[in-house]
Amino acid sequence: MGESIYEGWCIACHRDSGQGKPPYVPALRNNPVLGESEANNVVMSILAGSPKVLTQAYSPYVRMPGYAETLDNSEIAAVASYLRALGSEC
């Protein structure tokens, strides 16, 4: 399920194998965030999207939307697990 959610919602920005589009969208593959022992940062990024304060954001030009309203908890968990598996492959 994680892969199909990724393909549906995330691939446009984070690209097909998680390479992102630096300097606009961070790569997810090889991103140390994915290997952290707690999944909180990954889950929070998906729920909240880009920080509201522009200076704290990765890019002032591309904003990641929050998915708290779009995806339910099991979908967020599935896509987070998919990303973490992607991260640990590298």
Contact residues for ligand HEC, defined by CB under 6 A: 9-10, 12-14, 25-26, 28, 31, 33, 42, 45-46, 50-51, 57-59, 62, 64, 67, 79, 83
C-alpha distance from residue 58 to each of 37, 62, 72, 88 (Å): 22, 8, 25, 23
Q: Which is nearer to ligand HEC, 29 or 58 (CB)?
A: 58
- Least Å from the CB of residue 68 to ligand HEC: 11
Q: How far is the CB of 21 from ligand HEC (least distance, A)?
A: 9
Minimum distance between the CB of residue 69 and ligand HEC, rounded to whole angstroms?
12
The answer to whether 71 and 46 have CB atoms below 8 angstroms apart is yes
